[in-house]
Structure 1
């Protein structure tokens, strides 16, 4: 029997983000189009530059309420009629707020995409903001706030932002608002914010899927292209960018007391880079992966595998509008709180001594070679492109940083880590302070404040 030679496996070809074309509708709306053969569900992302800092301080959360109520009835249809029109055409619709703006998500088959854009244009142009619908969503948001405060992870993240940024910084307060600001939101507030911020001049439409480009542009022109620019709203909030400021004394530990808690939620954070950082973005996903982005990361190797203190810790760099953050978060056994904090800080300090070639290649290979799977659907392609547009970038950013991965050296990682490792940090613990606060104080890692 003749043996068959084993085939040689070569290096994978370089992957690039799907190519796109750009256009402008007659009303000024920017269009980014990705033709993706085989993706029969067409994904649309409408990115509207309506940043959180454009909300009135006394009505923070109004942007989120607007995203939740724009499609809850228009001047032409009731909320039930709008819901029925979406359902019978198989159209999935949602919307939400990022720090830099609003994203409206629409998914439909190619045959129903134009109908989806027509309904989107309707609620963009003539939302009713019915008092009953707005009131319902305000009550839902107030219930969410209670749940966020009751959840240890949510409470830790909220307290970290409040303790890290100054009170005047928008980043110190929840994206969707606090109870004191949400409770007073009315239909009039929604109309005012919508008129001031949800405008064609602020919008980019990203379309991804198996749809003819000429057909798509024609359909967009007779739908979203007819979205008229409203007159300037009186009393519109100042939408000029506002950089968040870090407190002058952030190096402290805040312990939120939860009597009898058997676990302690840890949330540590410090300043990090944005996507435009000198030297490129590529080192930072790698660093996050190695420190706390996988089951084999340095944090999990010690706290989970060696010590058995946690089911898993996570760490990584996250870019924001004008800067970024580095965070570590996870829950540990309550009786290990102090030791866990000490170990985490020690692991972060040890990272300053550098990373090995094996670590670098394992992380770079995972991030780079799984990209084709992560970006395999029209939904993800459109979503990433829409979020990048709100940050003033296009999808070539992804191609460029993935290409940079293969060129990284351990010196690049060391340099990138050194730029941000000495930044001021805050630590929030949510657990039984009576059982653990004294041991945390004894670490000498910073001032410890206990709050109820």
Structure 2
């Protein structure tokens, strides 16, 4: 083909060359993480990335839903919701209500969010590093962190919206199934607590302020920064954001109980009039993120139900029998042992057959473990997929923040592929048998035929 011409076969050849090039490229390099602890106790994790004039920030502290007081489930999530609903005057920033805050962020073109998961309260910021954008964005976020108003009238309005959404959700069988499953797996542990109209009614502006004063503290904060900034800039940024929290007392938070293993199998089935699909949840408590078998369990789960169309559950229930469009399993691993869960939907008259097949797949895997070919395929898929978790600054920030929260080694992301590839069939089977007992599972079915 002459230079400058791209015919039909030319484009095909170019596409083939590009695909080949992508396949032979080495995996995305793990980020180089700089870490230090400030005098106020905050831990800073910095990944320098000069490719784009952007900065991704994650500021986190021990304020997830597991810290909600008894009778006030939903308090942490309410604080996250209200953090953007108004801020009092702070430093050189004027007082702003929710509309003024939204307009200020829109004018900057920066993005921020606040979320409360089971374990942690997380504030995220994404902004340009140009001084005319970065500094106003940091000042605006610092104002929200220092002086949230938690206005009583605004909270009353938002509470009404939450209650309306909760009431609407009660008409969904999947919501009922999730509630029954969480209660059976966690049995009173804070991981299984559910926010309801009653618990929201027990939350007022004073409770929101008290939560913020107690949990938003510099001494236990983790600050992750990924972008085009130096260490000196990172330290200055940390000082600016954490300054209002430094004077707060730092007594240890009370310890929380662990999620105990199930003493016996539990089966819960409820009819649901008019349900087009039966909701099926099967599982039990899994492991905490720092468990030494976490990587082996991730590989084993990929084979059982986490690998999409290559998983055993998908093969048995969809491909061979057409019982569902999809079935998957996953570990929820945090500071405590989150649930390992199989999730699927099927026609009500097929629910009993599907449940029996899921149990049989789990028993067989616990007896025999994976084949050599299943192990090789899972290792290859997970190693290749690992690079996709690190191909943008935003993803790197999420991964490093998770590493920081779990207090894992700084080389965790760099060594993960090698640790996956070093696993044997015996490693997977030993780890799986230690954690997953097919004779002590919670099985929840909502909407099955009688």
**What secondary structure, in the 3-state scheme, does the structure 2 residue paired with 1:150 have?**
coil
**What residue in structure 1 maps to residue 155 of structure 2?**
134
In the alignment, structure 1 residue 375 sits paired with structure 2 residue 390: yes
2:377 matched to 1:362? yes
Q: Find the partner of 2:444 among 390, 409, 428.
A: 428
1:172 aligns with one of 176, 186, 192: 192
| 1:402 has 2:423 as partner | no
Deviation larger for 301-310 or 137-146: 137-146
Q: Is the aligned partner of 1:84 residue 2:103?
A: yes
Residue deviations 1:176-212 (CA, integer Å, cap 9, x gap): x222211231111101111111111221111112333
Q: Structure 2 matches for 1:176-255, cutoff 5 A?
A: 177-221=195-239, 223-232=240-249, 239-245=254-260, 248-249=263-264, 251-255=265-269
Following superposition, the deviation at residue 10 of structure 1 comes to 9.6
Correspondence for 1:413: 428
Q: 2:33 & 2:135 partners in 1: Cα distance? A: 20
Match of 2:124 among 105, 115, 133: 105
Listed one character per residue, the Cα deviations across residues 300-353 of structure 1 (whole Å, up to 9, x for unaligned) are 111111111101001122212122432100101211110000000001111121
Change (3 A) 1:302 1:72: same
Question: Structure 2 residue aligned with 1:160, among 181, 184, 187?
Answer: 181
Say whether the 8 Å CA contact 2:191–2:338 is kept in structure 1.
no
Alpha-carbon distance in structure 2 between the residues aligned to 1:42 and 1:79: 24
SS in 1 for 2:86: coil
Unaligned runs of 5+ in 2: 1-16, 90-95
C-alpha contact 1:49 1:390 (8 A) present in aligned 2: no
Question: 1:141 and 1:302 mapped to 2: Cα distance?
Answer: 40
Q: Distance in 2 between matches of 1:39 and 1:78?
A: 32
Which residue does 2:171 correspond to in 1? 150
In 2, Cα distance between the equivalents of 1:225 and 1:195?
A: 13
> How many residue pairs end up in the alignment?
422
Q: TM-score, normalised by structure 2?
A: 0.86
Q: Would you say the 8 A contact 2:28–2:390 is kept in 1? A: no
1:298 aligns with 2:315: no
Q: Gapped runs of 5+ residues in structure 1?
A: 1-5, 437-452
Instruction: Please give the alpha-carbon distance, in whole angstroms, between the structure 2 residues aligned to 1:361 and 1:12.
Output: 20
CA displacement at 1:73 relative to structure 2: 1.0
Q: Counterpart of 2:70?
A: 57
Q: Which residue of 1 aligns with 2:355?
A: 341
How far apart, CA to CA, are the structure 2 residues paired with 1:50 and 1:310?
38
| 1:54/1:240 contact within 8 Å kept | no
1:244 is displaced (CA, Å) by 2.9
Q: Residue 33 of structure 1: SS of its match in structure 2?
A: strand
In structure 1, the partner of 2:114 is: 95
Q: Structure 1's 370 and 40: CA in aligned 2 closer, same or farther, altered over 3 A?
A: farther
RMSD over equivalenced CA pairs, Å: 2.6
Match for 1:69 among 55, 79, 82? 82
Contact preservation (8 Å) 1:158, 1:173: no
Q: 1:15 to 1:89 in 2, by over 3 A?
A: closer
- Contact in 2 for aligned 1:355/1:410 (Cα 8 Å): yes
